[in-house]
Amino acid sequence: MQDRAANPYLGGDVRRSYHGMRGKRLMRLQPAEGPADAAATMVHETFRSMALSETYPCVVARSAMRRGDYRFGCYPRLGTEDAAAAVACDLWEFVAEFPIRPDRYASFVAAFDGPCTATEQGFEDLLWRQLQLLHELDVRHSRWDAEVGTDPTEYGFSFSFAERAFFIVGMHPGASRWARRTAWPTLIFNSHAQFDLLRDAGVMPRMQQTVRMRDRRVQGSENPSLRQFDAKRPETVMYSGRLVEDDWTCPFRPTDQATESSTQQAEEGLV
C-alpha cells in the first residue's frame, strides 16, 4: 500500500473532488472530510440511481455501489490538462486507499463538466486524450504495472496509473448502448487485478453471462463490442463504448519512459 502522505499530485490549483459514501450520505473525504460539493452531489445522485437500478446490466458495479466501495469525483472538462491534474491527484488517493483484496471490488468514478458531445467518435477522441494526459503525468512518478502490457494494440494491455492496471469504462450522453449512457461524460477506473481474482475464483464466466443477459433485456441485443474482445482483440476496443472498426488502431501512445520501465522490470526479474 502506498504512503498516502506522499501523494505527488498535491499542491497548486488542483481541483480535488474526492468523495465517498458515509452511511447514506455522500461526503467529501479529501483533503479534509466534510459536506459534499453541491455539484458532486447532483451528478452523483444521477449516476448512483442508474447504477442501482434493478435493470442495470453490470451486477458487479451495482454491488460496489450498494457497499459504498467506490470513490466519486467531478472534474473540469474531459480531455483537458486541468482535469488530468485533478483526476491524477484523486486516482492516486484511490489506489492508496483501496489495496487489491479478493473480498472487495472497488472502482473510481470520474465525472466531467462536459463537453456533452452527441457523437460516440467525439467522446472517444476526448477519452483517449484524457488518458494520454494522465499517463504523461504518471510516468514522472510511477512505473507501468508489471502485470500488464504497454502496447495498446495488443491483447494483454491495460491502462496503468500509480503502478496499478485499470480497465476503463467510458460513459456519456451520446452512447448508443443504454448501459453506457450518462448525463455527464464519465470514466470508471476498474482495477484489472480484480477481474483476475474473479477469473481465478471461477466466477467470471457466470458473471459475464449474467451481464450479457441483463444487457439484452434492457436493449434487446447484446453489446456487439463484446465479440471483438472475445476474439482476443486488445481491451482498448471496449473503453469508449463505441463499436470500433475492424482496422481501428488505439490512439494512445505510452511514452518511452513507460516502455523503458517495463523493460527494466523484466531485467530485474519483476515480470
Q: How confident is the model at residue 233 (pLDDT cuts 50, 70, 90)?
A: confident
Q: What is the mean pLDDT of the chain?
A: 89
Question: What is the pLDDT at residue 268?
Answer: 47
Q: Are strands 25-30 and 34-35 parallel, antiparallel or unpaired?
A: antiparallel
Mean pLDDT of all residues in 127-133: 98
Helix H, strand E, coil C: the string for 192-232 is HHHHHHHHHCCCHHHHHHHHHHHHHHHHCCCCCHHHHHHCC
Question: What is the pLDDT at residue 177?
Answer: 93
Mean pLDDT of all residues in 18-38: 95
Question: What is the pLDDT at residue 257?
Answer: 63
Question: What is the pLDDT at residue 104?
Answer: 85
Instruction: List the one residue out of 33, 148, 39, 41 whose CA is nearest residue 97.
Output: 33
Residue with cell 506522499: 6
Highest mean pLDDT among 56-65, 150-159, 229-238: 150-159
Instruction: List the one residue out of 45, 51, 73 whose CA is nearest residue 63.
Output: 51
| 42, pLDDT greater than 60 | yes
| 129, pLDDT greater than 90 | yes
> What global pTM score does this model have?
0.91
Burial class (CB in 10 A: 0-12, 13-18, 19+), 7: buried
Question: What is the pLDDT at residue 138?
Answer: 97
C-alpha grid cell, residue 159: 491502462
pLDDT in tens, 254-268: 987 665 654 444 444
Mean pLDDT of all residues in 204-230: 84
Question: What is the pLDDT at residue 223?
Answer: 85
CA angle centred on 111, ends 45 and 98, rounded to 5°: 90
Question: What is the pLDDT at residue 269?
Answer: 44
Q: How confident is the model at residue 113 (pLDDT cuts 50, 70, 90)?
A: very high
| 58, pLDDT greater than 70 | yes
pLDDT in tens, 156-181: 999 999 999 999 999 999 999 999 99
CA–CA separation, 244 vs 186, rounded Å? 19
| 225, pLDDT greater than 90 | no
Q: Which amino acid is at 43?
A: V
Question: What is the pLDDT at residue 203?
Answer: 80
Question: What is the pLDDT at residue 206?
Answer: 85
